[in-house]
Amino acid sequence: METKKQFKFFTIFEHEKEQDYLREMNKNGWKFVKVSGFGTYHFEKCTPEDVVYQLDYNKEGLEHKEEYIQMFSDCGWEHLQEYAGYSYFRKPAAEMNGEEEIFCDEASRFQMMERVMKGRILPLFIIFTCVLLPQLIMNIFSFHNYLVSAFIGGIVALYVIVFAICAKKYFEYKDRLNK
Amino acid sequence: MDQHIKKVYVPMTETAFYILMCLRKANHGYGVVQMVEKMTDGKIRLAPGTMYGSLSKMEKDKVIKFVREEDKRKIYEITELGNEILQLELQRIERLYRIAQEEI
C-alpha cells in the first residue's frame, strides 16, 4: 500500500487546525495512520472521503481508558491513538446527521482548553518560577557569574516568549469561543 | 445548600440540565445521549467529549453519583443535592416562561 509521511508542527491551542489538516488529507485520498516523533504524520492512500477528525485532551479519561473510549465508540467515534496527552478520534461525515463534533457546547470546549493549560503550561511555569528564575537571580547577585547568567537569561527569555505566545493563543481561542 | 454549587449550576448548561433530568433514573452516559435524542426528536445530540467531561465534573460536584460499572460503562444516578439544584433550575425557567407569557 502506498504511504506517505509529512512533517507538521502545531503549537498549543492549534488542535482545530490539526483536525482540519487531517480532514483535508482524508478528502484528498490520504487516510491518517498515526502521528509520531516531533510531529511526523503518517498516511496511507485511500479513496477520498469526508472524515471528521477530533482531538480531546483528558487525563482523567486516559486513566479510565476503556470506559473513556467506550463512550466515544458508542457515539460512533473511532479511537485512533494518544499523542502528547491528546486522544485522536474520527467519524465519517456520511454517518452524521449534519455537522458533529466531540463537544456540543462552549462550556465543554472551554473546559478542554483549561485542561490543556493545566496539563501542558502549568508544569513549564512551575519549572520557570521555582528553578530558572531563582538560578538567574543567584547567579547575577550572589555568584556574579555572568557567563552562566547570560546562558540562563537566554533560556528565561525563551520561556517568556513561549508564555506570551500561549497567552495570546489562549485569548484568541477564548474570543473565538465567545462569538 | 452549598452556595458555590448553586452559583455554578443555576443557571446551568443545557447539557447539565439533560444529564440531571435523565439521571433521576440510574443510567450510563450513552443512555443519556439516546434519551435526549429521543426526547428532542433528534434535535439535540449530546457529544461524547462533552458528556465525559460533564459527568466527571458533576460527580466531583456531588450532584450525581457513581452507582456501578456495566460493560465498561459507568452508571450514574442523581443525588439529593442534584435534585435540589434541578428543582431550583426548573423554578428559574418557569419564572422566565411566566414573565414572557405575561409580557406578550
pLDDT (tens digit, 9 = 90+) per residue, A134-154?
888 888 888 888 888 888 888
CA atoms within 13 A on the CB side of A123: 4
Q: For residue B2, is pLDDT > 80?
A: no
Average pLDDT for residues B23-39, to the nearest whole number? 97
Q: For residue B1, is pLDDT > 80?
A: no
Comparing A11-15, A28-32, B32-36, B53-57, the range with the smallest average pLDDT is A11-15
Are both A79 and A112 inside the same structural domain? no
Q: Which residue has the higher pLDDT, A158 or B27?
A: B27
How far is the alpha carbon of B65 from chain A, nearest alpha carbon, in Å? 16
Are both A87 and A7 inside the same structural domain? yes
Are both A76 and A14 inside the same structural domain? yes
Domain end position, chosen among A41, A75, A95: A95
Is A65 part of a structural domain of the chain? yes
Among partner residues A68, A70, A104, which is closest to B47 by beta-carbon distance? A104
Distance CA(A103)–CA(A67), nearest Å, equals: 18
pLDDT at A82: 96
Would residue A146 be called left, alpha or beta, if left means φ above 0 and alpha means ψ between -120 and 50 degrees? Answer: alpha
Is A41 part of a structural domain of the chain? yes
Are both A157 and A116 inside the same structural domain? yes
Contact between A67 and B56 using a beta-carbon 8 Å cutoff: no
Domain end position, chosen among A49, A68, A95: A95
Are the CB atoms for A56 and A87 separated by under 8 Å? yes
Are both A69 and A146 inside the same structural domain? no
- Residue B54 C-alpha cell reads as 460533564
Q: Which residue has the higher pLDDT, B6 or B82?
A: B82
Distance CA(A46)–CA(A153), nearest Å, equals: 50
- The number of domains in chain A is 2
Are both A82 and A146 inside the same structural domain? no
- Residue B90 C-alpha cell reads as 426548573
List beta partners, residue B66.
Answer: B76
- Residue A112 C-alpha cell reads as 478542554
Are both A64 and A114 inside the same structural domain? no
pLDDT at A97: 83
Are both A115 and A84 inside the same structural domain? no
Are the CB atoms for A28 and A61 separated by under 8 Å? no
Are the CB atoms for A77 and A100 separated by under 8 Å? no
Are both A118 and A40 inside the same structural domain? no
Taking CB atoms and an 8 Å cutoff, what residues of chain B touch A100?
45, 47
Are both A153 and A172 inside the same structural domain? yes
Which ipTM score applies to this complex? 0.91
Residue ranges making up the domain that contains A154: 106-178
Contact between A107 and B15 using a beta-carbon 8 Å cutoff: yes
Is A101 part of a structural domain of the chain? no
Distance CA(A160)–CA(A45), nearest Å, equals: 42
Classified by CATH at the fold level, domain B3-103 comes out as: Arc Repressor Mutant, subunit A (1.10.10)
Are both A116 and A88 inside the same structural domain? no
pLDDT at B93: 96
Mutate to test the interface with A, among B50, B59, B74 (most CBs of A within 10 A): B50
Among partner residues A60, A66, A97, which is closest to B72 by beta-carbon distance? A66
Q: Could you say which residues of chain A have pLDDT below 70?
A: 177-179
Q: For residue B50, is pLDDT > 80?
A: yes
- Residue B35 C-alpha cell reads as 434519551
Are the CB atoms for B10 and B4 separated by under 8 Å? no
Taking CB atoms and an 8 Å cutoff, what residues of chain B touch A97?
42, 45
Are both A60 and A122 inside the same structural domain? no
Is A100 part of a structural domain of the chain? no
Contact between A105 and B49 using a beta-carbon 8 Å cutoff: no
Is A144 part of a structural domain of the chain? yes
Domain end position, chosen among A69, A95, A121: A95
Q: In this structure, which amino acid lies at residue A12?
A: I
Contact between A112 and B53 using a beta-carbon 8 Å cutoff: yes
Distance CA(B79)–CA(B58), nearest Å, equals: 10
Average pLDDT for residues B58-87, to the nearest whole number? 96
Distance CA(A3)–CA(B76), nearest Å, equals: 44
Is A14 part of a structural domain of the chain? yes
Taking CB atoms and an 8 Å cutoff, what residues of chain B touch A72?
48-49, 52
pLDDT at A179: 59
Q: For residue B83, is pLDDT > 90?
A: yes
| Whole-number average pLDDT of chain B | 94
Q: Does A70 touch chain B (CB under 8 A)?
A: yes
